[in-house]
Amino acid sequence: MVPPILLLWALLSVMVAGACTFTFLQPFWIMHLDCIHAFGMISYCYVDSDYENSRELCTAYGGYYHLGNIPSGAWQASCVLYGVGCVLMCLSAFLAICTVIMIRAHNKKLSLLSGYLQAVAGMLYFIAILLCLYKQVKQYVIIPSLVSSYF
C-alpha cells in the first residue's frame, strides 16, 4: 500500500510544476496600472486601439520565440533560470509519480532525488524572480531627478 503522504507529495509536485510552467508562459508578469500593456518573460501584450473595440494583442518579443529577442540581459538571464527551474520541477514531478508506481525498495532514493531537484528548482525560481524584480525596480521606480538630488 502506498503511504498517503507520498500520494499527497506526488500530487502537489505535479500541481506546482504545472502552475510554474503555466506562469512562465504568461505575458502578465508586469502590468501597467491602466492595463494598457503587460510584460512577461517571453511575451508581451498591448491594447491595439486601431480596432473598433480596442482589443488586446499578445505576441512574443521580436515576433517569434528566441532568447536574443528578449529586450534586457537581466530578463534573458531570468528567462533561462526560470525555464531551467520549470524543467527541473517537471522532472521532479515525474520522479514523484514514479515513486508512487515503483516498488518500495527504490522509493527512498527516488524521493530524495526528487526532493533535491525541487530544492534546486526553487532556488532557481527565487534567483530568476529577484533578477526580474531588480531590473524592474531599477528601471521603473527610481526617478533620476530624485536620485540626483540626494547626491
Residue 106 inside a domain? The answer is yes
Instruction: Identify the helix (H) or strand (E) that includes residue 114.
Output: helix 107-136
The pLDDT tens digits of the residues spanning 11-67 come to 999 999 999 998 888 877 666 666 677 777 777 777 777 666 777 777 777 767 777
Q: For residue 35, is it within any domain?
A: no
pTM: 0.77
149 within some domain: no
111 is written with which cell numbers?
524521493
- Residue type at position 17: A
Q: Is residue 37 part of a domain?
A: no
Is 22 inside any structural domain? yes
Decide if 34 is inside a domain.
no
Q: Three-state DSSP class for 151?
A: coil
Domain range holding 78?
4-27+70-141
Tens of pLDDT, residues 91-138: 999 999 998 888 777 788 888 999 999 999 999 999 998 887 776 655
**Residue 38 located in a structural domain:** no
Residue 115 domain flag: yes
- Interatomic CA distance for residues 25 and 21, integer angstroms: 7
Q: How many structural domains are present in the chain?
A: 1
